[in-house]
Amino acid sequence: MRVFDVHLHVQPWQMVKPDVLAMIDDESHAGAKEVLESPESLLRFLDEHEIERACCINYVSPDVMGFTRDVNDWIANFTADHRDRLLPVGSVNPLHELDARTEIRRVLDLGIRLIKIHPPHQLFSPNAYKRGDLWQVAEIYRECEERGVPVMFHTGTSVFPKARNVFADPMPIDDVAIDFPRLRIILAHAGRPLYGETATFLARRHQNVYLDLSGIPPKALTRYVPRLDLLADKALWGTDWPSPGVSSPKKNVAEFRALGLGEVVERKILRENAERLFTASS
> Which string of DSSP letters, residue by residue, matches 85-142?
TEEEEE---GGG-S-HHHHHHHHHHTT--EEEE-HHHHTS-TTGGGTTTTTHHHHHHH
Interval 106-138: pLDDT, tens = 999 999 999 999 999 999 999 999 988 799 999
Whole-angstrom distance, CA of residue 136 vs CA of residue 132: 9
- Confidence band for 282, pLDDT divided at 50, 70 and 90: low
Q: What is the mean pLDDT of residues 207-218?
A: 97
Rg (CA), the chain: 17
The pLDDT value given to residue 199? 98
Query: Could you tell me which residue, 220 or 1, shows the higher pLDDT?
Result: 220
**For residue 281, is pLDDT > 70?**
no
Q: What is the mean pLDDT of residues 220-233?
A: 94
**For residue 32, is pLDDT > 90?**
no
The pLDDT value given to residue 106? 98
**For residue 27, is pLDDT > 90?**
no
Q: What is the mean pLDDT of residues 235-239?
A: 98
Query: Could you tell me which residue, 23 or 110, shows the higher pLDDT?
Result: 110
The pLDDT value given to residue 262? 96
How many alpha carbons fall within 13 Å on the CB side of residue 221? 30
Interval 263-280: pLDDT, tens = 999 999 999 999 999 987
Q: Looking at the domain 4-280, which fold is it?
A: TIM Barrel (3.20.20)
Of 72, 148, 151, the closest CA to residue 112 belongs to 72
The answer to whether the bond into 39 is cis (omega within 30° of 0) is no
Largest alpha-carbon pair distance within the chain? 50
Bridge partners for 153 per DSSP: 117, 187
**For residue 169, is pLDDT > 80?**
yes
Mean pLDDT value across the chain: 95
Q: What is the mean pLDDT of residues 129-157?
A: 95
- Confidence band for 31, pLDDT divided at 50, 70 and 90: confident
pTM: 0.97
Query: Could you tell me which residue, 151 or 280, shows the higher pLDDT?
Result: 151
The pLDDT value given to residue 145? 98
Q: What is the mean pLDDT of residues 15-25?
A: 90
**Structural contact between residues 156 and 243, judged by C-beta atoms closer than 8 angstroms:** no
Domain extent listing, the chain = 4-280
